[in-house]
Amino acid sequence: MTFIRLPHSFEIIQNIALYFLHEVNYKSMTTYQLEVQIAPSDIRRLKEGGYNLCIAKKVNGAYSVIWSGDQNFAPSNTFEWVDEYQVFGVDSFKVGALVKAATNSEDIQPGQSCVLDQNGVMGVATGSAHSTGRFSVLNEYSAISIGVSAKLFGETRPVFVTPTSTVGTTTFEPVDDIVVWFSPMLTTGTMISGADITTSIEVKYGGGETSKSVRFSDGNWAQE
């Protein structure tokens, strides 16, 4: 007769369940905030000059798409987001053009992967979500760019497009580094290069930080 040590077995199952619960939900409830304060004396000059308040999020060590860019700014502006992502195909990366998806979009979490199949259809993400911070897309379709969207104000918006068109596997590693600046031309969803980011401030979140504040006054940025 075989005897089963129930207490020991239960402990193992419990530990496994807790591990996967942590891995799947490790960041799902985290909300990040960035407050951008603008001195009232600068507001009129910026708006009369046609400037947009722009922010971008870093993916794979670069900023390549305007996450938010418009003239709807006031002396105090709060940006709020969660780390929820989607991936999709884009015909090509072109500085100054708006991101336009060429395929369907699919939700994806760190640790997962999607396949863009030979028919140009982005498949549902597979694999176990975990805290590596990285996810990937296997492109079996043709040489195109891959885009990433992330939630801002509860709305999914483009945040990154690969600068080159490739086939095969592309790995993405988004981080909560945000750059803020003013631009007279750039709007939400515009693909950019580093040269488009001028007189800016970069804000980095780490060590459990979820809220930051910056201020623009007399033409200069400062973190508070």
- Whole-number pLDDT of residue 27: 47
Q: Is residue 212 part of a domain?
A: no
Q: What is the pLDDT of residues 121-140, one digit of tens each?
A: 999 999 998 878 999 999 99
* pLDDT higher than 50, residue 16: no
Q: Is residue 11 part of a domain?
A: no
What is the Cα–Cα distance from 110 to 132, expressed in whole angstroms? 6
What domain count does the chain have? 1
Q: Is residue 64 part of a domain?
A: yes
Q: Is residue 13 part of a domain?
A: no
161 Cβ contact partners less than 8 Å away, ≥ 6 residues apart: 64, 65, 90, 93, 99, 145, 146, 147, 148, 191
Give the domain range for residue 144: 30-205
Higher pLDDT, 4 or 166: 166
Q: What is the largest CA-CA distance in the chain?
A: 86
Q: Is residue 3 part of a domain?
A: no
What integer is the mean pLDDT of 45-67?
97
Q: Is residue 109 part of a domain?
A: yes
- Whole-number pLDDT of residue 75: 97
- Which of 51, 46, 79 shows the shortest CA–CA distance to 176? 79
* pLDDT higher than 60, residue 164: yes
Q: Is residue 160 part of a domain?
A: yes
Q: Is residue 219 part of a domain?
A: no
Locate 177 and state its tokens: 């580094």
What integer is the mean pLDDT of 188-206?
96
